[in-house]
Structure 1
Amino acid sequence: MTIFVYVNTAKQVGDPEHIKVFANQHAADEWFKEHDPEGVAFGYELKAPDMKPHVGQAYKDACDNLIYLKKEQFQVTYYTWLVLAALYILSRAFPVAKEVLVWGTCAVGFISFFVLLNFQSSIERHRKRLASIYEDYFTERERKRLGLDATSTHRLVCGILSLAVLGATAFTAWVVYQPPAPGALE
């Protein structure tokens, strides 16, 4: 990042008006228009703290895990629906095993629900790690401008997927428990 420095040689060292530091060329130009039209600010490279390799690895790990966990939330929901569909088909092929299949349906639904909650917990842990890195390496203004917000929890997606899993489980358990329609293939 480049900052711009202006030195007013008419002021003594230590005087608040002796040195002006500007965050960018535009800020310097605006100040000069009003205060010193003949003045000039010189650009200097500001050294920001370099991200240490272990912090860079923690950042990459958090980002990779967030991407993976978010995809897996949808995969768990998808495969839960497939297993529930298979249990429904089995209930029609083997009506005598209805009780076992209802319990299997409930087990699949609750396991999927708890896996989704576990994924959400992991997502929040990785988001806290990202928030910490953003806080250490970006100013508040940069975080706002770049949209670097890792503090919100984003629980809505997990809630919707969890409801979809539990709703599909309840419906499948109810359908599996129903006797086959008269004349249905057995």
Structure 2
Amino acid sequence: MRGTAAALCLLAVLTTRAPGATAAPRCPADFVSLDGRCVHIYTENYAGNAPAMTWPSAKALCAAKATDGWSTELATVNEAFLTKFTAHVVSEIPGMTGYIFWTGGSKVNGVWQWTDTAPIDPLAYIWYMSSPNPDSTGVYGMLVPSGANNRFYMLEYDESNVGPSFICEAKALVA
């Protein structure tokens, strides 16, 4: 009996979290947890197995990664995510530190938004220095590396541009 009580106390200690702490999400296969989100960084071009693609093609490839219980879209980014993303690329796939990555950002009727239609603040620190440029014909967001600050920033790219990679985000479907 005492052994059972001691085991239960130990279990309670091991499963108690600090206030405000959250568990890392369980992610689908081929996705990793970054900044509390499940993301897939497309590496097929880096591995020499696929050509570069347009934003609509990247969006379709990401959508095809949906599985039972999960929806997928090109990822939204914010400053906290960019910090985690940069650290992950540098430590886990350092050969891709010079790569560019499609995101879920697009300009619809002159307004920047994510694939879930949430607006993108044009003054957010995710943008590269002069972006978004109101005179640009770019309609899709791509993360580009900046060696000066050892992080990625978003730039607007045209419909005809291609990129070698993308960031896909999986979200658990609500039952």
Larger Cα-atom Rg:
1
Q: Fold conserved (TM > 0.5)?
A: no
**TM-score in terms of structure 1 length:** 0.23
| Larger proportion of helix | 1
User: How high is the TM-score relative to the length of structure 2?
Assistant: 0.24
Structure of higher RCO (CA pairs closer than 8 Å, 6+ residues apart): 2
Greater share of residues in strand: 2
